[in-house]
Structures are given as C-alpha cells and as structure tokens.
Amino acid sequence: MKKKVEYLLLAAVIVGALAYLMLRETDRTRYALPQLTEVTGTALTGVEIAKGDKTISLAKKEDRWHIFPGDFPADGEKAAGILDSAAKLSFVARVSESKNYARYDLGDDRKIRVKAFSGDAVKRDFEIGSTASTFRHTHVKISGDPNVYQAQGNLKSKFDVTVDDLRDRTVLSFDTTRVQEFSIMLNGKSVMITKKLKAENRLKENADTPKTEPQSPEKQNFVWETEGGRPVDEAKVKRLLSSLVGLRCQKYLEGFKVEDFKDPEIEIAIKADKEHILKFFKKDDKDQQNRSGTSSDNAYPFLIAKPQIQDISSFVEDLKKAESKQKLTGES
C-alpha cells in the first residue's frame, strides 16, 4: 500500500512538472517582439555611434559620406554597411527581463549606442552589447524598452569602429584607358612613357583620305614608348597602372600635413583626365615595412606598405635592363 501511494505521489509530481513546463513554454511564446518602423538604408541621412565618452557620426556632404569629428571622407562600402544594418535591425528572441545589463555588455562602460536619422527624425535608437554564442546574433536593447533582445546578425562587427576604421583609404584614382603618358622619378632619375599610335596607324591617320569615325583604342593599336622612341612592354605598363589605380594606404599619418613632406624618393605623374601625382619618401629607420606618401588625389599624408610599391621599382629596373641590353647589342 505504501509503495502504491509513493507511485501515485511520484506520478502527481511528474504530471505537475509537465504541466508547469507546458504552461511556462506557452507563456514564453506570448510575448511580442518589437516591431520597428520600416526604413531603408538609402533613406537614412545620418548615423551617430557612441561608446564611452567618444561619439563619431556619419553624414552626407556633397553626395558622399563624411566622418565627424574630422570631416574625413568615409569608405563608401563601410558607410553603406552601417546604414543598411541599422535600417534592417530585427529581433529573433527576448533573452532577459532582469535588467542585468552588464551580463550582455550593455552596461554604460561597454555598450555601443546607435542613433540613425532620416532628416531630423530619429528612425533607430538602440544599444549594442555582446555577440551571442552563435556569432550570428547580437544582444541589443532599444530605447524605451528595458528588455534585452537577440537581434539578427553580428552587429558589433559593423558598429564597433573608430574614425580611422571608417576613413576612405583610396589615395589614387584614375581611368587607365585615358592615360596618355606617365613619368617616374626614382632616386633622382626620371623616365617618361608615352602612349602613341603604331607607325602604320600614324601613316593612315596622316594620309590624304576622307576622315571616318575615330577608331577605338583597341583597333588603333597603340604602343608605349620612352622619350627616345624605345618601345616598352605593354603588359608591364598595364601591370604597373593596375597596381596604382585605386591604390589604398595602410593608414593616415595623424598630426602631419602634406606640406611637411619634401624631397620624394619616388614620384609618379600620370596624365589622364587630369594630372595625378603620387610621391613616396625615404624609409623611416623605425619602420622598415612602410613608406610615407602624398597624393594629389588626397588631402592627407599616409603610410603605404612596401610590397604595394614594389611594382614601381620593378618597372624601372626592367627599363634599365632593356636600355643596357640595347647599348650592348647596338640596337636602335
């Protein structure tokens, strides 16, 4: 009889526990996740990102994004990523009602506060904490709501940034198809390379025949020549120009101005839609891996990695070898 009572009590406990769990699970599904006003990244006109006592912002200026403080041009791709992430903020679960924010890196010393604007209207106002264990979700708190939620995506990787992280590091930009000539000065010696029509095309162009539609560069058969008329390998020219177009620096040199840098070791002048001038200076004894540089396309001095300018030295060395071979063989 005693065992029968024990079994009945055990069964009652199990049924009670199951009922509790079912009711608890049902109760958990009753809460509603926050529904934010729909907005697109392209509709946002500004973002403020604050961490601790530092605040940086992105704002449109003359059709491109700038970073403040500093009024620096921003990397367009990174700016677009931040705006898109703010616009698409969405939640997958509520994870805490306890207001224990430090547990989720949402305390005042750790959280990242984000405000996104469309004109003067605040469209997003939220705080970013730690990344969830999945690395695909982020702990987030929104303005006016004490709860902590899991938001879709790794938001910390987008918003935990500095001014330097967001700056546009492109220091040279030109259209390679419009380059007509370029010169390279290396260690005091200069060489000029010019794009010219092949001899047979020049004869056709000068012939007394009716003018027709201008031919495309591919059909005109251009060649690259030095000032002395010596041909230069087109593949090497293309490789050099490809290494320079869209050139990006490692970082900017804070506290310096372009005017502070004189007597370049390497200077490149490229004539395309306009003249683009790139200068590199002697290595710093303390930094053997980078060179300081300036560019007519950028208002700020920068550091460039040594391998990035290796193509320049290689190109000049190849020209020297070709010149030496010409002198030895007596080629004209």
Q: Which domains does the chain have, with CATH numbers?
A: 41-166 (2.60.40), 170-329 (no CATH)
Q: What is the pTM of this model?
A: 0.77
Residue 179, both tokens: 């380059």
Res 313: pLDDT: 80
- What is the end-to-end Cα distance of the chain in Å, rounded? 119
Listed in sequence order, the DSSP H helices in the chain are 2-28, 76-87, 156-159, 163-166, 199-206, 217-220, 234-244, 310-329
* Alpha carbon distance 76, 65 (integer Å): 7
The pair phi, psi for residue 28, each rounded to 5°, is -65, -35
* pLDDT confidence of residue 116: 97
Q: How many helical (H) and strand (E) elements, i.e. helices and strands, does the chain have? A: 8, 20
Nearest to 44 by CA among 74, 16, 14, 65: 65
What is the per-residue pLDDT for 229?
Answer: 86
CA-based nearest residue to 156, from 169, 165, 147, 143: 165
Contact 246, 172 (CB under 8 A): yes
Task: Find the Cα–Cα–Cα–Cα dihedral 11, 17, 18, 24, rounded to 10°.
Answer: 170
The residue count for the chain: 332
Give the pLDDT score at 56: 97
The residue type of 266 is I
Please, are residues 312 and 193 in contact by the beta-carbon 8 Å criterion?
no
Which residue's entry shows tokens 């079994």? 7
pLDDT tens-digit profile of 196-244? 987 655 555 555 555 555 545 455 588 999 988 889 999 999 999 999 9
Q: What is the pLDDT of residue 28?
A: 44
b vs e for 81-107, b when ≥16 Cβ sit within 10 Å of the residue's Cβ? ebbebbbbbebeebbbeeeebeebbbe
Residue 4: predicted pLDDT: 58
Residues of the chain with pLDDT under 50: 25-28, 215, 217
